[in-house]
Amino acid sequence: MGRNANGEGSIIKDKRGFWRGAVSLPSNDGKYKKKYVYGKTRKEVADKMNELINQLRTNTYIEPCKVTLYEWLCTWLDTYCKNEVRMTTYINYETYIHKHIKEGIGGYRLCDLNTILIQQYYNEKSKNGRLDGKGGLSPKTLKNIHDMLHRALEKAVHLEMIPKNPSAHITLPKRQKPNIRYYTAEEQKQLQEAIKGEKLEMAVLMLLYTGLRQGELLGLPWSNVRINHNGNSYIMITQALVRTRNPDTNAPLRTLLLITPPKTQHSIRTIPLLPKIAERLEEYRRIQAEYLAENHLPNIGLVFTATNGKEYDPRDFQREFNNLLKRHNIREIGVHGLRHSFATRSLQNGMSVKTLSTILGHNSCAFTMDVYCHIDQDIAAAELNCLNGLLE
């Protein structure tokens, strides 16, 4: 039997070799009852006890078999997510919890949840889950909801509110591979000719020759741009500009423009600039500075801004880009299609998958090849043509 150490409380080692700790909980009749926690090591038990004691002190402890899923998700979101996830992720979680789960399975007690209930809930959401009533949720949205729910229930397991995670063996609908739209080499030349002198010229060139996401482009600060005349110019991606729902439901604006960290840790990266792009960017900086000074507009430090000097709203950027394409009778592929065009040209001209994956900020080379497998097939077909001579 183990003795208490450093005021940890009652911690012992049982006959099976597991550690057990006990914390006294107040009950409705004014008396106390024991709450037991278990673990493979003394430290694991001590950590669980300390967390439980802290919940009692801060009045955030909830009886496992009384709390509903919705109540637990609200507590989990406020206690464990507020300072741990990106604001956009937090806002999405709020929507999933209050708009989807609350009226679905939110009323079930944690101890009554099971895998079949959750599976049936997802199945229904895939058919009739949209908030506007126009069909089911997409596989991507369902996966996002599931990932959040799984994390929250995993925390409940850790706190010994439930014995196991009922969302662990769920079958989600498969995501259909999206149709990748990109410009051919000829179409890209046509676009580059069309944008000469246009307001979006520099922005489009950056997208075509760096593969940035739209939010990364519009959130790029000049402080992250390094232009060296010896040819070693580059940009550093550390943030993105996004439009997201306003968490203040009483505010007059339903959405906000926010500068946020990139999507993932892999998205924080350094991207080399071609010398000609670096030269054009340096000239663009001079022109931008003159424009802001002449019009007495504030310099907010971003590379690409709206005509009023403020952040470039992604919706406005998309609309202006599409209008540019229509004026010049160029096929519309969306702003993100420029990123796909960069990836396609890069692979066609011999860039390694590993290098491309790093530049794009992907999690793995496998993901990059899965997205751009059409290029791999095209290259394989072209290289196979070298065997034609053997048939003659």
- 3-state secondary structure labels for all residues of the chain: CCCCCCCCCEEEECCCCCEEEEEEEECCCCCEEEEEEEECCHHHHHHHHHHHHHHHHCCCCCCCCCCEHHHHHHHHHHHHHCCCCCHHHHHHHHHHHHHHHCCCCCCCEHHHCCHHHHHHHHHHHHHHCCCCCCCCCCHHHHHHHHHHHHHHHHHHHHCCCCCCCCCCCCCCCCCCCCCCCCCCHHHHHHHHHHCCCCCCHHHHHHHHHHCCCHHHHHCCEHHHEECCCCCCCEEEECCEEEEEECCCCCCCCCEEEEEECCCCHHHCEEEECCHHHHHHHHHHHHHHHHHHHHCCCCCCCECCECCCCCECCHHHHHHHHHHHHHHCCCCCCCCHHHHHHHHHHHHHCCCCHHHHHHHHCCCCHHHHHHHCHHHHHHHHHHHHHHHHHHHC
Q: Give the pLDDT score at 220.
A: 98
**What is residue 178's predicted lDDT score, i.e. its pLDDT?**
74
The answer to whether residue 2 scores a pLDDT higher than 50 is: no
Q: What is the pLDDT of residue 30?
A: 67
Q: Tell me what pLDDT residue 64 has.
A: 64
φ and ψ at 311, to 5 degrees?
-55, 145
Q: How many CB atoms lie within 10 A of CB 30?
A: 6
Band of residue 382 on the pLDDT scale cut at 50, 70, 90: low
Distance CA(55)–CA(116), nearest Å, equals: 31
Q: What is the pLDDT of residue 339?
A: 96
For the domain with range 185-383, which CATH number is right: 1.10.10.10, 2.60.40.10, 3.40.50.970, 1.10.443.10?
1.10.443.10
Q: Work out the average pLDDT over 193-210.
A: 97
Distances (CA, A) of 163 to 111, 336, 340: 9, 44, 46
**Is the distance from CB of 36 to CB of 22 less than 8 angstroms?**
yes
**Residues 6+ positions from 206 with CB-CB distance below 8 Å:** 212, 217, 277, 281
pLDDT at 390: 61
pLDDT at 391: 64
64-79 pLDDT, tens per residue?
677 999 999 999 999 9
Task: Name the pLDDT band for 256 (thresholds 50, 70, 90).
Answer: confident
Domain 69-158 has CATH 3.40.50: no
- Model pTM? 0.75
Higher pLDDT, 123 or 263: 123
Digit-coded pLDDT (tens) for 111-163: 889 999 999 999 999 999 888 888 999 999 999 999 999 999 999 998 888 88
**What digits encode the pLDDT tens for the residues 334-380?**
999 999 999 999 998 989 999 999 999 999 999 888 888 766 566 66
Longest dimension (CA), the chain: 96
The set of residues, in sequence order, having a beta carbon less than 8 Å from that of 287 and lying 6+ positions away, is none
Residue 361: per-residue pLDDT: 94
Cα(75)–Cα(267) distance, rounded to whole angstroms?
30
The residue among 161, 141, 144, 169 whose CA lies nearest residue 69 is 161
On average, the pLDDT of the chain sits at: 88
| CA atoms of 80 and 210, how far apart (whole Å) | 36
Q: How far apart are CA 392 and CA 388, in angstroms?
A: 7
pLDDT digits (tens, 9 = 90+) for 299-315: 999 999 999 999 999 99
Amino acid at 39: G
Let me know: does 311 contact 257? Beta carbons within 8 Å.
yes
